[in-house]
Every structure is written in structure tokens, then in C-alpha cells.
A and B are shown apart, each in its own frame.
Chain A
Amino acid sequence: MLKASIVGLAALALPLAAAADVENYVIDPTHTVPYFETDHLGFATMRGRFDRASGKFSIDHAAKTGSLEIVVDTSTVSTGDTERGSRPRTRDEHLRSADFFNTAEFPQMTFKSSAVKFAGDNPDTVQGSLTLLGVTKPLTLKIIRWKCGPDIRTQGKRYQCGGNATGSFKRSDFGMKYGLPTAIGDEVSLWMSFYGFRQ
């Protein structure tokens, strides 16, 4: 009877033990910056970024699993063109309009993971789905840099993970068709820096 109870308690405690291995992180919005680049007129590659992103991720080093959720404020899109000069509108204002990110109607772009694959002890690729302009399509992010450790800015009191990730998608898949096929490229490359603070 006693033995059965111990086994039962152990079985109940197993999920708790497993949960204890999962580390949860909250995205640092000031150091998590998604950048994008695409072809412009067939001559040059133009780059831009989103100034505000939030989200969370979790990682289980023992089970080698994890999850990621990032929410990007599309109204913060910036290509550095903020002065109108003699033009009626800036490029950033154009990017916020219905021609591109349609930020009034779709203020957020989100990425949610479905699977995280590890290479050794570190996450290597994050498979998931990108939702942009109300359309959800698969997207895989490749983690090209990853490190976890104490944050020296807090004398080690705060633990963080950070790194860089890349990915790419066709904007036409999301209904963003302005300037296709010749003026502005369809293929959009992503590069992002990210940090998360352990909770």
C-alpha cells in the first residue's frame, strides 16, 4: 500500500519535475530588433527594421525543446527616411500605408513557433508560422548565434539568453503585392537580434 502510494506520488511529481526544467524568458524589447531587406528596382538592396517587438520564449535544455512567440509592432517600421523635404510623404509613411504593411488595419505581425530543433546543446532552427496582413504562412527561423549567461549589466543578478536569427519569405504570399514584380522585390530576408530575460 505504502509502496503504491510512493509510486503514485512520484508519478504525480513527474510533470512538475519536467516543468521545472523549462526556462521561461520574456523578450527584451529594446534589444530585440527585426530587420528586413529586399531588392529595390533591381539595382540595390534596401534595408529596414521594426523598432518595437515583444514576446516570450521558453527552452528546455534537457528535453531539447522550446517555444517562441514574437509580436512586432508594424507601425514602428523604419528605413531611416523620416524627413519629407519637398515630397508629400516619406518612405516610412508609405510603408505604413495600405500599399505595404497597412498598419492601421494590421498593427501587429506575429511569429509563433511550432517546433524547435537543436544542434548540440543550442537551438538551431525554429519552425513556426508568420502572420502578416491577416495571412498566416509557415516560416523557419535559423538561429545563427545563441548564448545564455548572467547579464553583466546587473552584476549577474539577471540571467539572459540572446542571439541572432535569420529567415526569408515571399511578401506576395501574404498579399503584399505593391511594386511587384519589378519595382520592389518579392523575396524578403529577415535578420534579427533578440534577447530574453529569464523569469
Chain B
Amino acid sequence: MQEFLANPAVQGGVAPLAIALVLSLGLRPLKLEGLSLVAAFIGSVYLVSGLDFMPLTSTRKLVVLAIAAPVVGLLVDFAFKPTRIGAAFIAIAAAAGALWAFWPVLSHKPGNMPWLLGGSAVLALAFLAGFALLRLAEDSVRAGAAALALGLGAGICSVLSASVLYGTYGIAVAAGAGGYLLPQMILGRKSQGGASFALTFAITGGLIAAGAMTLAQLPWYCVLVLALVPIGAILPAPRNAPVWLQAVLVSIYSFIIAGAACVLAWPSSQQP
């Protein structure tokens, strides 16, 4: 059993997919299925590196922010009506979260690298959080597709950047999104969705990319391209088409942008 759970494919794929599948079905009556993603991610983190928080490293701060994101999302879903000002405030908070997690490391980089890398992280997180909240929170299929592509893109880019740990985390986000999307595709009915899911995938996916840039070797411009992945999920798809077809179509759009980030990450990796 221990060997099974130690397998990276289980840690980043099978386990988060199973957790998200079970929870997205189980929490559906409570309209809380958006929490399945954070549960899938935390399950993967537990298997990969354990849930230790001291010392509070950048990677552990990422996990803290990933846990905080759906809490904020739940508040938005149940206590506040999403507004542009509210989204702007959350976008700023997400950017500040990125700085909290990575600035202590970035500030020691030479020359203008702290500003370039820090600026990329801030822009990416602010855009991801704001865009996800305003444009994706109300459509669970589009949000799921964006999460799938962002997680997979960030995961592959992280592996190309020499961090299998961050790669596993990214793929776990994608697997969790898969577990959230699959019941909708099979049942033919969209989920409640909401900010709890949208903020989780946007902030977690963005931080994984920013972490691979800060702690491994992902180029800064790949982080910015990955931040554009959710745009693919709002491209037109036939409204009357079955849910599964809508999911496939918007996933493909999002994958194209995520693929571009991976292509950009690959050539740079050839330069020692």
C-alpha cells in the first residue's frame, strides 16, 4: 500500500482525481462541490510531502494560500454578491499573497530579477483571481476546463523547469478539475460552480507557476502565458450542445494556451 501511495502517478493523478470525484458528487446536494478541488490538492500535498507548515517555506505558504482561497470563495458565494470592486480587491489580495509567498526568495535574486519575476507573479495572480471570479465563477464547465488546462500546463512547465514536486502539484490541480468536470459531463448537468472553485484553481494554479519560476527555472514569460489560460475557457461554445461537448471544446481552447506556455518553457530549458 505504501509503495502504491508513493507512486507519483497516484500522488498527482489517481488520488486527487478520486477525491474530487467522490466529493463533487457527495457535496453536490449541498452546492459545495467547488470544494472538491482544494480537497484533491490537499490530498496530493499530503501524499507528496506531508502537511507540515513549519518552517513556513514558500511552498508551504502556497499550500496555506490554496486552503485560504476556497474560504474566501465561500464567503463570496454565500455572504457577498460578486462585484467588480470585490473582484479587484480579491485580485489585489491574490497578488499580495504571491508576494508573501515568494518575495523573501525573489528579493535575493541579482539585478532587476526580483522586479521582473515579482512583477510577473503579481500580474499573473491578480489577473487569474480577478478573471476567474468575474468570468468563470458562474459557469462550472468553463471553470473546470480552465482549471484542467491551467493545472496541467503549470504542472508540465514545472517538470520542464526541474521541479517534479511542483509538477505533481500542478497535475493534481488538473486531476482535481477532472474529478469536478467528469460528473457534469456524465450526468449532463452543470454544477453549482461558484467562487469557491474558481478562486481555488486560479490562485493555486497561478502560485504553482510562480513557484516554479521562483524556486526552479520556469521563465517569467511562461507564467504570464499560463495566466492567460482561462481566456481560452470563455471562447464561444454552442450553448445548446451537450455539457460534455462544451467541456471538451473549451478545454481544447484552454489547452492550446497552456500548450503554448509549455512550448515556451521547453526551448529555454536547452540553455544551461
Residues of A within 8 A of B (CB): 82-84, 88-90, 93-94, 96-99, 102, 104-105, 107, 133-135, 175, 177-178, 180-183
Q: What residues of chain B lie closer than 8 Å to A104, measured between beta carbons?
A: 105, 108-109, 214-215
Q: Decide if B3 touches A98 in the complex (CB within 8 Å).
A: no
Q: Decide if B163 touches A98 in the complex (CB within 8 Å).
A: yes
Q: Decide if A89 touches B160 in the complex (CB within 8 Å).
A: yes
Report the number of A-B residue pairs with Cβ-Cβ less than 8 Å: 81
Q: What residues of chain B lie closer than 8 Å to A177, measured between beta carbons?
A: 48-50
Q: What residues of chain B lie closer than 8 Å to A134, measured between beta carbons?
A: 55, 57
List B residues 173-212 near A (Cβ within 8 Å).
Answer: 211
Which of A98, A99, A104 has most B Cβ within 10 Å?
A: A98
Q: Is B83 an interface residue (CB 8 A)?
A: no
Show 27 A/B contacts (Cβ-Cβ < 8 Å), sorted by A.
A84-B272, A88-B159, A88-B161, A88-B265, A89-B160, A89-B217, A93-B217, A94-B164, A97-B163, A97-B215, A97-B216, A98-B216, A102-B59, A104-B108, A104-B109, A105-B104, A133-B55, A133-B57, A134-B55, A177-B48, A177-B49, A178-B49, A178-B164, A178-B165, A180-B6, A181-B2, A183-B6
Main secondary structure of the interface of A (DSSP, over half): loop
Kindly state the separation between the CA atoms of A96 and B164 in the bound complex, as whole angstroms.
12
Given known contacts A89-B217, A104-B105, A99 and B165 CB-to-CB distance under 8 angstroms: yes
Q: What residues of chain B lie closer than 8 Å to A183, measured between beta carbons?
A: 6
Q: Is B166 an interface residue (CB 8 A)?
A: yes
**A102 → chain B closest CB, angstroms:** 6
Kindly state the separation between the CA atoms of A198 and B40 in the bound complex, as whole angstroms.
57
Which of B104, B159, B162 has most A Cβ within 10 Å?
A: B162
Q: What residues of chain A lie closer than 8 Å to B104, measured between beta carbons?
A: 105
Given known contacts A84-B272, A175-B52, A98 and B6 CB-to-CB distance under 8 angstroms: no
Q: Is B58 an interface residue (CB 8 A)?
A: yes
Given known contacts A97-B215, A104-B105, A177-B49, A182 and B6 CB-to-CB distance under 8 angstroms: yes
Q: What residues of chain B lie closer than 8 Å to A180, measured between beta carbons?
A: 6
Of chain A, the residue at the smallest CB distance from B57 is A105
Q: Is B244 an interface residue (CB 8 A)?
A: no
Q: What residues of chain B lie closer than 8 Å to A82, measured between beta carbons?
A: 272
**B235 → chain A closest CB, angstroms:** 30
Q: Which 10 A-B residue pairings sit nearest by Cβ, starting from the closest?
A: A89-B162, A134-B55, A88-B269, A98-B215, A97-B163, A97-B216, A88-B160, A93-B162, A99-B165, A97-B162
Q: What residues of chain A lie closer than 8 Å to B165, measured between beta carbons?
A: 97-99, 178
Q: A93-B217, A104-B215 are in contact. List 12 more A-B contacts (CB 8 A).
A: A88-B159, A88-B270, A98-B59, A98-B165, A98-B211, A99-B163, A102-B59, A105-B57, A134-B55, A175-B52, A175-B57, A177-B49
**A132 → chain B closest CB, angstroms:** 11
**B76 → chain A closest CB, angstroms:** 31
List B residues 148-177 near A (Cβ within 8 Å).
Answer: 159-166
Q: Decide if A135 touches B166 in the complex (CB within 8 Å).
A: no
Q: Decide if A181 touches B6 in the complex (CB within 8 Å).
A: yes
Q: Is B266 an interface residue (CB 8 A)?
A: yes
